[in-house]
Every structure is written in C-alpha cells, then in structure tokens.
Amino acid sequence: MEVAAVSQEPDVRVLVVDDQEPYLRAMRAVVDATNGFTVVGTAATGQESLDVARDLVPELVLMDVNLPGIDGIEASRRILSEGTGTVVVLLSTYDRDDVDLAGSGAAAYVPKGAFGPDRLIEAWTSAHGDG
C-alpha cells in the first residue's frame, strides 16, 4: 500500500509587490502555480508594501526593485527591520550587476525573466537553509 506524502506545513504566505500590473499578475501566477505557496496580498508602491506587510506579516515578500516613491531596496530594509522573520526576494528586469543590492537585507535577487516556480522554491529554501 502506497501512502502519498502530505505536507503538514501550512503554505508560505506571500506578498507580491510590483507597480506594473503585467508583472504583478505574472508573479502572482507563479506563486499560485507553486505548491506550498499562497498569495496573501499585493502592493503597487514601496509605501503600500510597508503598510500591507505590517498588516499581513507575510513570510515571503517578492519585491520589485524599481517602485515609485520608496524603492524596493529601501522598502526591503524597512520590512526586515520589523524583525518578523519575513524573507524578501528582490526582482527586477535589470541584470543583477546593474542593481545596488547592498544593505537591502534581501535573501535573493531573481531577474523577472528567470522567475518561475523553481526559482521561487530555490530562493525560499536557500533563505531557510532547507535546501
């Protein structure tokens, strides 16, 4: 008799932050298609991401680097300074070398064009030392 392994862990709660609707939808679709992850909220600006993160306390924030007002780097710093254990993964259309990630505290950087379920899982497990 075979018994399918069923995870007792609840889904990772994800906040998706991007000011461009097509990218926001694409990132949300990747999360929705990845077992073990669920989108609990979205935001379109750095300031909005701070407010939503404070209200929802997500475990993972997928943060666009280039946002109006407070950019993704500064928003990441502020979210991480709350000390809730939230993991931030930065995403951008720019090459990693073109983005100053210093001091952001982000667990990973993923180019938007390379973002998919495998990269989501990889970033999450790497941040938790599970992989």
Does residue 126 have a pLDDT over 80?
A: yes
Query: What is the rounded average pLDDT for all residues in the chain?
Result: 87
Using 50, 70 and 90 to split pLDDT, how confident is the model at 131?
very low
Which CATH architecture group holds 12-126?
3-Layer(aba) Sandwich (3.40)
Does residue 101 have a pLDDT over 70?
A: no
pLDDT at 77: 94
> Where is pLDDT greater, at 29 or 8?
29
Residue 23 CA to residue 30 CA, distance in Å, equals 11
Locus of tokens 């952001």:
104
Residues 40-82: tens digit of each pLDDT:
999 999 999 999 999 999 999 999 999 999 999 999 999 999 9
Q: Let me know: does 93 contact 111? Beta carbons within 8 Å.
A: yes
Count other C-beta atoms under 10 Å from residue 80's C-beta: 19
User: In residues, how long is the chain?
Assistant: 131
**Helix 117-128 with 21-32: angle, nearest 10 deg:** 70
Lowest mean pLDDT among 15-24, 78-87, 88-97: 88-97
Using 50, 70 and 90 to split pLDDT, how confident is the model at 26?
very high
What's the gap between Cα 7 and its chain centre? Answer: 22
